Structure 1
Amino acid sequence: MKYAICNETFEGWDHARVCYAVSSLGYTGLEVAPFTLAPLITDVSAARRGELRRQAEAAGVTIIGLHWLLAKTSGFYLNTPDADVRQKTGDYLAALAQATADLGGNLMVLGSPLQRNLLAGTTREAADDFTLDTLGRTLPTLEKTGVTICLEPLGPVETNYLNTAAHAVALMAKLGHPNVKLHLDVKAMSAEDAPIPDVIRANAGHTFHFHANDPNRRGPGFGDTDFKPIFRALKDAEYDGWVSVEVFDYAPDPETIARESIRYMRECEP
């Protein structure tokens, strides 16, 4: 397994300090939330992007990509009927893809539930068309940079749109582009009708990235979820991407979360 962890776990820490800390704990990848760098990714200069990449590499860590792409922003929306907003959103996703490449990564996780809830009067079918239109505007930059955008199904507690892996795969099929893939998240999959290992196996070949966490919003091993069958399913699916720890509850502290999560995951490896 290739283990990464999301940088917002280390809230308030300097980037270089985060990189050395996660490296010392056994992680080789770091996943970055853009809002930890600046209000907008376009505010991060080329020089600063280069510096962030060099700091990670000096610590023995790869910045694998970005997530929380639209979090803490305004004016962007994935599936709005407003064509101007879709253009603006597509342009910003393209800017995020360029930043991902500049930082040394090759993936972006499209979660951002607040920027994709169905708007009043918009059907799911219409929202699908609007989503595909927005994503279509990013494709030239994805191709140029070699970055893959990963659609992240999320449970109905978080959003009322794109709740299942099957819906994400259907969107991918309509778009038909190799740089648009599936992201799976343990917490989110807990809301699916099928058991988590079955969802993983059913989507072998579609999944490009994976988040490890517990439905209680904490790290792997900090709740009741047994990761042994989950990791067995990943192996059965021949998944060779990153397993990235993403938490939403930062107690007791970042180092304990990071240390105990990777210890538990290694115990669960088949």
Structure 2
Amino acid sequence: MQVGINLLCLSGFIEEQHLGQLRQLKDLGYDGVEVPVLRGAPEHYAWLGGQLDAIGLRRTTTSVIPSADANPVSSDPTIRHAGQQHLDWALDCAIALGAESIGGPFHAPIGQFTGAGPTEDELKYGAETHHAMADRASANGIYLSLEHLNRFETYFLNTMEQARAYVDRVDHPAFRIMYDTFHANIEEKSQPRAIRTLGDGMGVLHISENDRGIPGRGHINFAEVFSAVRATGYDGWVTLEAFGAGLPELAAATRVWRPLFPDFDTLFSESITFIRNGWAEAA
């Protein structure tokens, strides 16, 4: 497996000022980083990819649907087209970055609700869009890892039963699911059972504590998570997700208003030790 870290703990947009912390992550033994692709142009991500190459870090990305005006599952064809264009942009940036996977909830706008679960039409529109996106991604050596969210952040994809059915509906070898322990802690009665339900559909494993702070300091049973994941044969990205003191791009949806870890040095060093030890002990 490879250990990564979601850089949303630093910022929603990674710039030159963050390069020192990226070098620190490499020195601590991280294999790669999960780069937020929320704004900017492919040229910026090409520059960042060059910097990551020089540091020696591999990379994946995380993206979202930014608004109801660019929703790929909308019943309005104009809005749906705008959503597809947004996903094309996210893929352009990931290609420029040299990413291995595109993750995140790029299915429906975060924090927007219809008063019901996903309709058959919404599932159909989403599957068509994600199948086409997976086609283009795979042609560029990238796979998709669509993230489920808890019911307070989205209505589209909440449980692993839904996620497994959606993987089968999209039906593309480059389409997978980003399993997130924070969201599963809310929605699933048993994380090991949820992981078994997803099976070989996992693309990225997000390690996120119940308060989104440092893993191992909360109440999620990561020992059973690691054991269940290893039992599926998964051997890909195991990526830390912890949030800082407020992200303008996501705070309104995720309700992250306060620091969830004491400092970056503690977050970086304690988390990688916890993940590597937990994975090894689950063998």
Distance 1:120 1:221, change over 3 A: closer
Deviation for aligned residue 1:120: 5.9
How many residue pairs align between the two structures?
261
Distance 1:206 1:136, change over 3 A: closer
Deviation for aligned residue 1:164: 0.8
1:19 pairs with one of 22, 25, 40: 22
Distance 1:176 1:23, change over 3 A: same
Match of 2:187 in 1: 192
Deviation for aligned residue 1:74: 6.8
Match of 1:91 in 2: 85
Indicate if the aligned counterparts of 1:94 and 1:142 stay in contact, CA closer than 8 A.
no
2:163 pairs with one of 157, 168, 173: 168
Match of 2:3 in 1: 3
Question: For residues 34-113 of structure 1, what are the structure 2 equivalents within 5 Å?
Answer: 34-35=37-38, 39-40=39-40, 43-45=41-43, 48-63=44-59, 65-71=60-66, 75-111=69-105
Match of 1:252 in 2: 262
Distance 1:24 1:121, change over 3 A: closer
Question: Is the counterpart of residue 226 in structure 1 residue 221 in structure 2?
Answer: yes
Deviation for aligned residue 1:118: 4.3
Distance 1:114 1:171, change over 3 A: closer
Deviation for aligned residue 1:214: 0.8
Quick one: distance in 1 between partners of 2:168 and 2:42?
34
1:208 pairs with one of 203, 206, 216: 203
Match of 2:234 in 1: 239
Deviation for aligned residue 1:203: 2.0
Deviation for aligned residue 1:169: 1.8
Describe the superposition over 1:153-191 as per-residue Cα deviations: whole angstroms up to 9, x where unpaired.
111122222111121221221221111111100001112
Q: TM-score, normalised by structure 2?
A: 0.83
Q: Write out the 4+ residue segments of structure 1 that deviate beyond 4 Å after TM superposition.
A: 120-123
Distance 1:122 1:167, change over 3 A: closer
Deviation for aligned residue 1:121: 8.0
Describe the superposition over 1:126-174 as per-residue Cα deviations: whole angstroms up to 9, x where unpaired.
2212212332442442232122122211111222221111212212212
Indicate if the aligned counterparts of 1:5 and 1:244 stay in contact, CA closer than 8 A.
yes
Quick one: distance in 1 between partners of 2:9 and 2:151?
24
Deviation for aligned residue 1:30: 0.4
Q: Which runs of 5+ in 1 are unaligned?
A: none
SS in 2 for 1:184: strand
Q: TM-score, normalised by structure 1?
A: 0.87
Match of 2:174 in 1: 179
1:32 pairs with one of 35, 57, 60: 35
Q: Which runs of 5+ in 2 are unaligned?
A: 245-258
Deviation for aligned residue 1:70: 2.9
Match of 1:144 in 2: 139
